[in-house]
Amino acid sequence: MGMNKNTVLGWATLIMIIMGFTLIGLGVYRYADTAGWGFGAVGVGFLANAWVFSSLKGRL
């Protein structure tokens, strides 16, 4: 199974999307106090990174 750059970026994007939504879910449901805002912000950051990775996928 060949792992070229596009495949690696695709898997990284998928993992980051899953982690982003997991962190946002933890922030919303598990930690309703100030820590929840931190979890949500990190989750949004993961989603932003995944967006950048997916936009880079065809260009590298």
Domain positions in the chain are: 5-55
Question: What DSSP string describes 31-49?
Answer: --SHHHHHHHHHHHHHHHH
pLDDT above 90 covers what percent of the chain? 0
The Cα–Cα gap between 37 and 20 comes to 13
Answer for the pair 51, 21: CB distance below 8 angstroms, yes or no.
no
Q: At what angle do helices 5-25 and 34-56 cross, to 10 degrees?
A: 160
Query: What per-residue confidence (pLDDT) applies to 60?
Result: 61
State the pLDDT confidence band at 9, using cuts at 50, 70 and 90. confident
What is the reported pTM? 0.65
Cβ atoms of residues 5 and 49 within 8 Å: no
Alpha-carbon gap, residue 40 to 24, rounded angstroms: 4
| pLDDT, tens only, 13-36 | 888 888 888 888 888 787 767 777
